[in-house]
Amino acid sequence: MIDSADLAAFRDMLGAEGIATAPNERLPYETAARYGKGVAAAVLRPANTAQVSAVLSYCARRRLPYMPQSGNTGLVLGSTPDPSGTQLVVSLQRLRELRVDVFDRTVTVGAGVRLSALNAALEPHELHLPIDVSSDPMIGGMVATNTGGARFLRYGDMRRHVLSLEVVLADDEGTVLQLARGLRKDNTQLDLRDLFVGSCGALGAVTCATLEVHPRPKQVATALLVPRDTDSILDLMAGFENLAGDYLSAFEGMSGSALRHVFRYAPGLRNPFGAELPAYAILVELSSMRAAHRQGEPALQTTLEEITASIACQAAAPLADAVFGAPEQFWRIRHSLSDGLRSQGEVVGLDLSFRRTQVLPFRNSAIRMLHEEFPEYEVCDFGHIADGGLHFNLLCSSGTGRAAEVRKRVTQLAVEQFGASFSGEHGIGRANQADYSRYTPSQIKRFSAEVIKVFSTLPSAAIDFGQ
């Protein structure tokens, strides 16, 4: 247990700015973005890698439970303390290094830099980190959870962008490791780097990353597609993959029920469908790194309209309707879905992921099961159909549902019968511990625990990979 001598030691180590103990100062670090609120023994705010090392070394030697935290925007309690009041938050927000190498198309960026700040720094160079999420996380957390998002089908996850990492271990020395060297091609070491991506800090804290970044698209075009029925969604996707090819950068499914709630929640949001909402809609996005109107080439918007028309003309067309409009408008709808649902009642949110072929069979099966066993829940899902990702949200708008029970039942159906991942892209944290313990083969748990022991004598308190 942490005592006053420990707090004094941290104050000596970090200065007054480096430690927060008053409840109002601690509050933002204790409050999770969406679910849950804990109590921290204290919040430590090291200003640089050397101070992170001193903190983790001290925690390891004294066996003080801690959690690294950066933006604290995660959804799985990977960075917020539990209610016990015994866990330290090690905030990495003050690690704000940011160096852009324009020609190399890489950035070296501290754990405490927000995605929006990184992209603002990249914008003058027409570059960006193309990971699209509804929140504004910091780089440390993005690495530690391996953030995915809505443009995964084109750009992949954080793992794909991480060229090298600086990490600090929770061992007696607070060892600082440089993992890889910021090169695109480098096969000279065992890949320890990727162990830290998606590790939730279990092996140590990520303090700095060198990332590959990409040119910004020069053209973006979007449409909202209404499939003939949900059984046609895969054919519609195959049609777009075939005809749009390289241009396809998002294919986001949204259920009619989720759309209904979002338009009710945010009346300022324009409903492009008219009075009757479709049962399902898809936000399709094409983007191109090539400028518009070069030498007789049609603009991307024209290309999108032509592809859509050509699919609509097919016999037994998988497409019933399409609405064209500005990307910002359509993405605002997509990014409001989650909050829209939450304004309407209790939401059980499941971040599932499947083989592409299994998304819709699961969806049908789960809807049938819920109708019979949990009729108080309405399915308001949306998802990244082309990557197999499905945000399977269940809304209980009247009274209290059986949240824990329905979560367990749906997860079981998804994992055991459809080979799903119970955490597709939100990473892993305390909220996943029960599912992790239940669905992870004991062999994998054993090897994971052994690997973690190689690095840190005291893993982060956020999740126990050995349990």
Q: By CB under 8 A, what part of segment 213-232 binds a second copy?
A: 215, 218
- Give yes or no for residue 303 binding a second copy (CB under 8 A): yes
Could you tell me the smallest distance in angstroms from the CB atom of residue 421 to a second copy? 4
- 262 CB contacts (<8 Å, ≥6 apart)? 269, 333, 336, 337, 340, 341
128-167 binders of a second copy (CB under 8 A): 145-146, 148, 152, 156-157, 159-160
Could you tell me the smallest distance in angstroms from the CB atom of residue 334 to a second copy? 17
- 303 CB contacts (<8 Å, ≥6 apart)? 221, 244, 247, 286
Instruction: Return the number of the residue (46 or 198) whose C-beta is nearest a second copy.
Output: 198
Instruction: Return the number of the residue (97 or 171) whose C-beta is nearest a second copy.
Output: 171
- Give yes or no for residue 440 binding a second copy (CB under 8 A): yes
244-283 binders of a second copy (CB under 8 A): 244-247
Among 120, 238, 326, 404, binds a second copy (CB under 8 A): 238
- 61 CB contacts (<8 Å, ≥6 apart)? 172
Could you tell me the smallest distance in angstroms from the CB atom of residue 15 to a second copy? 29
Could you tell me the smallest distance in angstroms from the CB atom of residue 22 to a second copy? 35
Could you tell me the smallest distance in angstroms from the CB atom of residue 202 to a second copy? 7
332-361 binders of a second copy (CB under 8 A): 353-357
6: nearest Cα among 116, 88, 70, 103:
88
Instruction: Return the number of the residue (110 or 389) whose C-beta is nearest a second copy.
Output: 389
- Give yes or no for residue 435 binding a second copy (CB under 8 A): yes
Could you tell me the smallest distance in angstroms from the CB atom of residue 432 to a second copy? 7
Among 18, 74, 137, 182, binds a second copy (CB under 8 A): 182
- Give yes or no for residue 455 binding a second copy (CB under 8 A): yes
- Give yes or no for residue 195 binding a second copy (CB under 8 A): yes
Three-class secondary structure of residue 419 per DSSP: coil
Among 39, 408, 439, 464, binds a second copy (CB under 8 A): 439
CA distance 208 to 110: 4
- Give yes or no for residue 304 binding a second copy (CB under 8 A): no
305-324 binders of a second copy (CB under 8 A): 306
Could you tell me the smallest distance in angstroms from the CB atom of residue 248 to a second copy? 9
Instruction: Return the number of the residue (80 or 303) whose C-beta is nearest a second copy.
Output: 303
Instruction: Return the number of the residue (261 or 426) whose C-beta is nearest a second copy.
Output: 426
Instruction: Return the number of the residue (8 or 238) whose C-beta is nearest a second copy.
Output: 238
Among 45, 261, 426, 430, binds a second copy (CB under 8 A): 426
Could you tell me the smallest distance in angstroms from the CB atom of residue 35 to a second copy? 17
**E strand residue ranges, 294-377:** 319-325, 346-353
CA distance 142 to 159: 9
Q: Kindly tell me the burial class for residue 94, based on how many C-beta atoms sit within 10 Å of its own C-beta (0-12, 13-18, 19 or more).
A: middle
Could you tell me the smallest distance in angstroms from the CB atom of residue 240 to a second copy? 11
CA distance 138 to 134: 13
User: How many residues sit in the footprint of a second copy (CB under 8 A)?
Assistant: 92
CB 417, CB 439: distance < 8 Å: no
- Give yes or no for residue 388 binding a second copy (CB under 8 A): yes
Question: What does the per-residue mask of binding to a second copy show for 34-73, with x meaning CB under 8 A?
Answer: ----------------------------------------
Q: Kindly tell me the burial class for residue 95, based on how many C-beta atoms sit within 10 Å of its own C-beta (0-12, 13-18, 19 or more).
A: buried
- Give yes or no for residue 296 binding a second copy (CB under 8 A): yes
Could you tell me the smallest distance in angstroms from the CB atom of residue 71 to a second copy? 17
- Give yes or no for residue 187 binding a second copy (CB under 8 A): yes
Instruction: Return the number of the residue (39 or 299) whose C-beta is nearest a second copy.
Output: 299
User: Hey, what are 219's tokens?
Assistant: 């053209």
- 378 CB contacts (<8 Å, ≥6 apart)? 257, 394, 395, 396, 397
78-107 binders of a second copy (CB under 8 A): 101, 103-106
Instruction: Return the number of the residue (80 or 257) whose C-beta is nearest a second copy.
Output: 80
CB 113, CB 99: distance < 8 Å: no
CB 133, CB 410: distance < 8 Å: no
- Give yes or no for residue 33 binding a second copy (CB under 8 A): no
- 298 CB contacts (<8 Å, ≥6 apart)? 306
CA distance 92 to 299: 44
- 145 CB contacts (<8 Å, ≥6 apart)? 74, 76, 78, 158, 198, 200, 426, 427, 428, 429
Q: How far apart are the first and last CA of the chain?
A: 22
CA distance 304 to 244: 8
- Give yes or no for residue 189 binding a second copy (CB under 8 A): yes
